[in-house]
Amino acid sequence: MKAEEKMANEYAIQMKNITKVFFETLVANDNIDFNVKKGEIHALVGENGAGKSTLMSILFGLYQPTSGEIFINGKIENITNPIKANRLGIGMVHQHFKLVEVNTVWENIALGVEDTSYNMLLNKTKIKAKITKIMKEYELYVDLDAKIHNISVGMQQRVEILKILYRSADILVFDEPTAVLTPQQIDSLLDILLKLKAAGKTIIFISHKLEEIKKIADTATVIRAGKKVAEIDVKQSQGTEIAEAMVGRKLVEVKNSYSKPKSDTPILNVINLTVKSSNNPKINALENFNVQVKSGEIVAIAGVEGNGQKELVEVITGLSKAAVGGVVYKELNILKYSIAKRYELGMSHIPEDRHKYGMLLDFTVQDNIVIQEIGKKPFSKFGLLSTIEIKKYAQKIIKDFDVRGARGGVSIARGLSGGNQQKAVVGRELRRQHDLLVVVQPTRGLDIGAIEYIHAEILKEKEAGSAILLVSYELSEVMALADRIVVINDGRLVGQVPGKGARREHIGALMAGKKEEVLGNEF
């Protein structure tokens, strides 16, 4: 057998000498070779903006390569669009959801491949039955009749996964599929991927989480600054080999010093707060909830997604209303205050959904960075914008937080990778004047080096005296940063423990609903 025939039989994907250049000067992929064997789980890793999503967008037909060739099952292909990719058996779960928010879950899953009766009427019963079978098989349950805009980010991610399973692709690309999932959902998804591999599927898995890669991947290709720098046998890799290949340096562990608050008076005091569910007003999403955050203290809310965290944050930041209770910020009950007024008082908010609440995607990066302060000096005077001051301020944040692809701030925000969009939002909120930080999933979709930097910056905020309320579904993040961990289950506070000495098993039991006597605030 010729070597070429052997390669064709062995590899599902061969991407040869792929180069992609944007705006004639920005090289996103630089002469990359990427080969994936049939029936393997192949991890594609690298820092935010390294070129991973661009490479996979070329494979899926969203971009055309500037140069290079693509072979699918040994045959050269010109993948001009996603429809052609689907016909070749390639499916992709995107990092940024491709969902129609006003449509239902089942309509989104079947969109474009609908079953019909008499070639004209949607066969809703048949479609829902097929989706239900897939949901049961892979334990990916979603309310099929719910509108997309009414379900959580985690549920939207499930819809994206169901879309690709519904189309029965043989080559599956997962772009950061666990970025918004809870630990339990992540374990379930990883089991699903292993089942898909056992069924003969070929999987490309883009992730920044080394524990996930080591659990399921056979091979890892590492990209740095648009170039392929390593191809690693995951099972044979040692220690931090993959992580250090990603960032090109040794990593430093960031940990809280667990110092006491700088004041006994809370900056934020949530009192007996009850909030109705946005999906069902007859149900309390949050019930009689209390939490305090003091100056120089990080209080983390730990819990499985969908247990009231979203409602808590939205009431504090002014995105929704409370049914009962109070939110006292700097000794003022702010429940009737506008979002703008809360910001003026010194509140900063890093939202869970950066697209919906964090950015204006069709504005430039620098506009997004200054947008909350655009009417103030030095960014404007007598109604006239100072482009020099706007640019100078934005470029400092872009540099500090390593926002790649921003082109000095003039790039449109939509064009940045998800991780770089996140870094821009985090940088904006941390750098503006504030004394309260409400932080939700601050490192969602970020690489190891960026996580290390942002964790260090959050700890600097604590040392500077900020009060920080952290909501994260990453237990490792909660345990690394929190002075105090408040556990929420079914909208109620079920326990709180000091961050120092906290045990994963203890927190996990509380998250599952095991109640205990609430501990005091002392360390």
Pair (109, 126) in one structural domain: yes
> Quick check: pTM over 0.75?
no
Pair (313, 364) in one structural domain: no
Pair (219, 271) in one structural domain: no
Cα 211 to Cα 229: distance, rounded to the nearest angstrom: 21
Give the confidence band of 520 by pLDDT, cuts at 50, 70, 90: very low
Cβ–Cβ under 8 Å, residues 480 and 500 = no
Pair (209, 190) in one structural domain: yes
Please check whether residue 351 lies inside any domain of the structure: no
Pair (401, 443) in one structural domain: no
CATH of the domain at 319: 3.40.50.300
Pair (375, 323) in one structural domain: no
Please check whether residue 491 lies inside any domain of the structure: yes
Please check whether residue 399 lies inside any domain of the structure: yes
Pair (209, 306) in one structural domain: no
Give the confidence band of 79 by pLDDT, cuts at 50, 70, 90: very high
Phi, psi of 349, rounded to the nearest 5 degrees: -140, 120
Q: Is 32 exposed, middle or buried (0-12, 13-18, 19+ CB in 10 A)?
A: buried
Pair (243, 262) in one structural domain: no
Among 34-43, 130-139, 219-228, name the one with the lowest average pLDDT. Answer: 130-139
Per-residue burial over 52-62, b = 16 or more CB atoms within 10 Å of its CB, e = otherwise: bbbbbbbbbbb
Domain count, the chain: 3
Highest averaged pLDDT of the listed ranges 12-21, 147-156, 174-183: 12-21
Q: Which residue has the higher pLDDT, 322 or 168?
A: 322
Domain edge (last residue) among 247, 274, 292: 247
Give the confidence band of 105 by pLDDT, cuts at 50, 70, 90: very high
Cβ neighbours for 439, distance < 8 A, ≥ 6 positions apart: 349, 350, 429, 458, 468, 469, 470, 471, 472
Residue type (1 letter), 39? G
Cβ–Cβ under 8 Å, residues 85 and 132 = no
Q: Which domain holds residue 378?
A: 359-433
Please check whether residue 353 lies inside any domain of the structure: no
Please check whether residue 354 lies inside any domain of the structure: no
Pair (378, 263) in one structural domain: no
Domain edge (last residue) among 400, 433, 466: 433
Please check whether residue 42 lies inside any domain of the structure: yes
Domain edge (last residue) among 247, 282, 311: 247
Q: For residue 518, is pLDDT > 50?
A: no
Please check whether residue 190 lies inside any domain of the structure: yes
Pair (136, 209) in one structural domain: yes
